[in-house]
Amino acid sequence: NSLATVEYAKMLSTGGLATNAGCGSTWCTTSSLPSARYWFGMTAANGYIYIIGGWNHTATPKTVGGAAYALANANGSLGSFTTTNEPPLRFRGHTVEIYNGYIYVTDGQYGTPNDGLSGPQNLIYYAPILANGSIGYWSKGGVNFSQSSAFHSTVVYQNRL
């Protein structure tokens, strides 16, 4: 099922989760996503949480476009999500990474709002993260991955993707 609910838990220095995250439970509910979805990309930088794309499995399944960000509060809760510039394609099953003030969307599947699943892609798009937390205009990465993939993982380490 597609969900818009966002929950958080307090992590302990010993590796476990606290039995009370500050709301009387292990898991606390905070600001909801702009729309219900799964297979989305999510990342964090400079005190903000970012979400891009996804899939909404309703009576008419569709790729969810859009990008949004929310301020991460010191207690673990989130401020309201604000929509921002979205990539030129609607992605699902992709990854989202941040490096040196830029946000990257890699591979995944893409399509129109009311499509079925497209095949895996090898695309990379990036955009600057602006001082207010919003995302600037998107550009194509210049080079693509050597192989197409979706529902994969990526990591940035020492200026390498």
Please, which pLDDT band fits residue 144 given cuts at 50, 70 and 90?
Answer: confident
pLDDT digits (tens, 9 = 90+) for 51-80: 998 888 765 667 777 899 999 999 989 999
pTM of the model: 0.89
Cα 28 to Cα 8, 10, 119, distances in angstroms? 5, 9, 36
Question: What is d(CA 40, CA 53) in angstroms, rounded to the nearest whole number?
Answer: 5
pLDDT digits (tens, 9 = 90+) for 90-141: 888 889 999 999 999 988 887 665 555 567 778 889 999 999 999 999 999 8
**Nearest 5 degrees, angle CA 78-CA 138-CA 3?**
35
Please, which pLDDT band fits residue 30 given cuts at 50, 70 and 90?
Answer: very high
Residues 6 or more apart in contact with residue 86 via CB below 8 angstroms: 52, 53, 65, 66, 67, 138
